[in-house]
Structure 1
Amino acid sequence: MNAFLWVVQALLAALFLLSGSLKSTWPKDRLIASGQTGVTPFPLPLLRFAAVCELFAAAGLILPRAAGIAPVLTPIAAVGLCCVMAGAISSHCYLLRRDVAAGRGRREAVNVVATTVILGMCVLVAVGRS
């Protein structure tokens, strides 16, 4: 189980390191064009704040437990990412409802499912490392 949790932590850390890096450097329209459509309803300063949170959480998923210093921070980082992903699911559901009303919506349905899977991985790490 320990090795499986490490794999999940590494995948999540890589994902949030990439996402946080893009959100902290790219303009909003480029993020949307790249597939991060969930950022659409939010102002850029909030996206930059979320990016910083994602970068710190990515480090928190790996470094405390790997260094053996304050390993309690790993499940805390995972819980923080659960909050971020709950917000992302909410955003994608809002966009899905809007797109369905306009006769579109396939892309957002995939994003809701993918974001829910990522949330599940965060919950797994939070519970598994508690």
Structure 2
Amino acid sequence: MNIAYWVLAALLALFYVYAGGKKATQSKDQLLPMMGWVDRTPMPLVRVIGVLEVAGGIGLILPPLTGIAVGLATAAAIGLTLIQVGGIVVHVSRGEARLIGLNVGLLVAGMVTAALVP
């Protein structure tokens, strides 16, 4: 169980720190080719999502690694899962239901990670 948590948490943390970092730092024009939804989303909201993703990715690793406030890892996993719920809603509302595969995969991985927090 512990190994499964660390594998999932590490993969999710890498993904979210990378993707969130892009959202937090890159311009709308730089994000548009891979994230079409930013065309209708205010950039301050894109930045907030990015910062939350980076914080969630760090929150999956740091608390269990240090043994301090380990419950924050569960909160991080749940928060990242909720971000994916929002992503699915955005894609479906834009008529992009075919694009929700990654969101669904990340949602499931986040839920499993939340259940496995050591």
- TM-score bin (small chain): over 0.9
Matched, 1:67 2:55: no
Give 1:28 shift. Answer: 1.5
Give 1:7 shift. Answer: 0.5
Could you state the TM-score of these two structures normalised by the residue count of structure 1?
A: 0.84
Deviations 1:66-97 (A, max 9, x none): 111111110100011111111111111122x2
Matched, 1:114 2:102: yes
2:45 aligned residue: 46
Give the aligned residue type for 2:63. P
Give the aligned residue type for 2:27. P
Deviations 1:7-40 (A, max 9, x none): 110010000000111001111122121x222333
1:37 aligned residue: 36
2:28 aligned residue: 28
2:83 aligned residue: 84
- How many pairs were matched up? 118
Structure 1 stretches of 5 or more lacking a match? Answer: 98-104
Give the aligned residue type for 1:49. V
Structure 2 stretches of 5 or more lacking a match? Answer: none
Give the aligned residue type for 2:5. L
**SS class of match (1:53):** helix
**SS class of match (2:100):** helix
Matched, 1:16 2:4: no
